[in-house]
Amino acid sequence: MPIQVNTSVVGKEYPPFPVTVERGKIKDFARAIGDLNPFYLDDRVGAASEWGDVIAPPTFAVTFRDERADAGALLRDLGVDIARVLHGEQEFEIVRQLTPGETYLCRTKVVDIYEKTGKSGPMAFVVRETAITDRTNEIVATMRNVMVIRL
């Protein structure tokens, strides 16, 4: 019996949460990927760069999490166990580079839920968008996440 997903979650906006980018977090993230680019890892290279500091790799914003607004909160709302979840799609739009010491505000919203039947059976697709803004409320980056739930 396929499970039911609570589709009334569409349109839900999660509580905005602030994130301050830590220098060490950028470096740990780059090293975990095995990307040893000195613009992420070497403070002197960063200081001499056009950004005046190291910058974060393109996918770094995925580390911006808050337990009231993350995948765990979404799964509770959907009534779905984490063992059923796969990452379907991900997109980043980057307007400005993320740099250490900066504080950003993240706002996540559920924009769509739809069902499809694939090779491995029925699946639900949950689409979330996260807008990342700076202190002056300018958009710095956006993320779009498609979570796949095996029903």
Partner 1 sequence: MKYAKVSFEDVTVGDELPPLHKGPIEQIQLTRYAGASGDFNPIHQDDAFARAAGMGGVFAHGMLSMGFVAQALTDWAGVGTVRKLGVRFAALVRLRDVVTCRGRVLAKSSKDDVHTVELEVWAENQRGEKVVSGRATLALAARA
Residues that bind partner 1 in the complex, under the rule CB under 8 A: 25, 28-29, 31-35, 37-40, 50-51, 55, 57-59, 62-63, 65, 71, 82-95, 97, 144, 150
Report the helix count and the strand count for the chain, using DSSP H and E. 4, 5
| Closest to partner 1 by CB, 93 or 112 | 93
| Closest to partner 1 by CB, 14 or 40 | 40
Maximum distance among all Cα pairs of the chain, rounded to whole angstroms: 59
CB of 148 to partner 1, least distance (A): 9
CB of 64 to partner 1, least distance (A): 9
Contact status, residue 43 vs residue 54, Cβ threshold 8 Å: yes
| Closest to partner 1 by CB, 8 or 20 | 20
| Closest to partner 1 by CB, 8 or 33 | 33
- What is the spatial distance between Cα 150 and Cα 148, in angstroms, rounded to a whole number? 7
CB of 43 to partner 1, least distance (A): 14
CB of 48 to partner 1, least distance (A): 13
Contact status, residue 147 vs residue 87, Cβ threshold 8 Å: yes
